[in-house]
Chains A and B, each alone.
Chain A
Amino acid sequence: MECVVQGIIETQHVEALEILLQGLCGVQRERLRVHELCLKSGPNLGVVTSDVRLLCDLDQPDPTWTVKHVGGAMRGAGADQISVMVRTMIESKVSKNSLRMFYALGYKLDHELLKVGFAFHFQRTAHISVSVSSVNKMPKVHAIDEAVPVTHGMQIVDVTAPATPENYSEVAAAVSSFCEFLAPLVHLSKPFISTGVVPTAAAAAASLMSDGGGTTL
């Protein structure tokens, strides 16, 4: 399982966010260029419809593939009290022909995206990953070179951390407390609960850019 929060930021403030993240994380950023194919089971397959994502990491000399299954979010009073979403998530590295296999098994391409940006991976109580990316759609199937942004001028910020049924509350607390440091630039909340952009982002970004990211925690 994993803990996850999401937010949006205007592209003009992404550079400031990168400077802030660099200072906070103390690790080098990694480039992010991922082709995400979302597959759905055909109408007759499975008791209920199932979804699976195939992620192709294009930033490798030889692109690598991952199968990802994201399950339902944890519910109940306990889940309502924490500010991050806790959900099941399983990933498996696979060889490059896995798309062909899923097609042969009766899965269909539902939609595909190209995410381009950067990510930071670091340890802070939990193993936290922050990715900042523009989400692009393709006018034709698999035409990643012709991809165009889904939302002009906006990028998505994802903060995730792997968790277990035993430690998810600690991981959720670590993610929440980390998100507070980003609050001047981006408001992070449970996925699918849009909270919009932060009104003070422009001022915070200006301050960070003039400071050059020299402030560390």
Chain B
Amino acid sequence: MPIKWVLHWQPNQGSTVSSQILNEASECVESINGVKEGRWKATLNYYKPILKDEANQSEFPRDFLGISLADEPDKYYFIIKSQRIVVEADTNILSIMEKLQSYKSKVALYFEGFQYQLGDFRFRIGKVVPTHSENVRGIVMEVDYLPISSIKTANKLMEEFMEIWHEALAKRSLPGKFVNIDINFEEYGLGDIYTPQHTAVHYALVMADMIATVQAARG
């Protein structure tokens, strides 16, 4: 699959994220000739163990996530960030997890928005919302460079393209910026050729960063 960067909106200190920023960012893609293609959606679940004795919670991972991605609707991805594990499975795994009754979802988040094509690039910009709520908790942006799958090969080109993007967005004087997290994919056993597992790891780290930002803002 093509190389992808997953960026997220980092608000300036004292400011909050809102759907207005999503609108501005979407308009910005259109202003640089991005062509709107349709909607996209991804979902993320935080799981917690079902325990006989809650006192032993520390024995179990607290950062066990499951993700369904827009690129691979028939697959499901699990990540345990603290142990650098990413697993790809068929969506049948969700029925197996249901039968096992050992973990259950404690929080579910949706990522949803519009997809744009811009030459050899594909943009997906979307808001992060909890289920049963319209409160925007964050904004994510996927940027694919369709001709290349090698992370190393595409890196410089992606950096240059993101500079153009940041310049275009800077004209709108928004209270924050899109940031890219530098990830050591090797730690997760992933190679240089980009796969959906890379995207799943990206999302897990983006979420961790968003949560850390919110917690830091709350002091």
Contacts and interface: CB of A to CB of B under 8 A. Distances in A.
Interface of A: 41-48, 50, 52, 67, 69, 71, 88, 90-95, 97-98, 100-101, 104-107
Interface in B54-105: 56, 59-61, 64, 78, 80, 83, 85-93, 95-96, 99-103
A116 to B, nearest CB: 26
Nearest to B92: A92
Given A46-B50, A47-B52, A92 B93 contact: yes
A46 B89 contact: no
In this complex, the member of A43, A90, A93 whose beta carbon has the largest number of chain B beta carbons within 10 angstroms is A90
Q: B-side binding surface: helix, strand, loop or mixed?
A: mixed
Contacts of B78: 101
B175 interface: no
A35 to B, nearest CB: 18
Q: How large is the interface on B (under 10, 10 to 19, 20 to 34, 35 or more residues)?
A: 20 to 34
29 contacts: A44-B59, A45-B102, A46-B50, A46-B100, A46-B101, A50-B100, A52-B100, A67-B89, A67-B93, A67-B96, A88-B99, A90-B92, A92-B91, A92-B92, A92-B93, A92-B96, A94-B87, A94-B89, A95-B88, A97-B85, A97-B87, A97-B189, A98-B87, A100-B83, A101-B78, A104-B83, A104-B85, A105-B103, A106-B49
A47 B101 contact: yes
Contacts of A50: 99-102
Interface string B172-205: 0000000000000000010000000100000000
A121 B165 CA distance: 54
Contacts of B95: 90
Given A90-B92, A95-B87, A95-B88, A106 B99 contact: no
A65 B166 CA distance: 43
Which 10 pairs, one residue from A and one from B, show the smallest C-beta to C-beta distance?
A92-B92, A46-B102, A92-B93, A50-B100, A92-B90, A95-B88, A94-B89, A69-B96, A101-B87, A90-B95
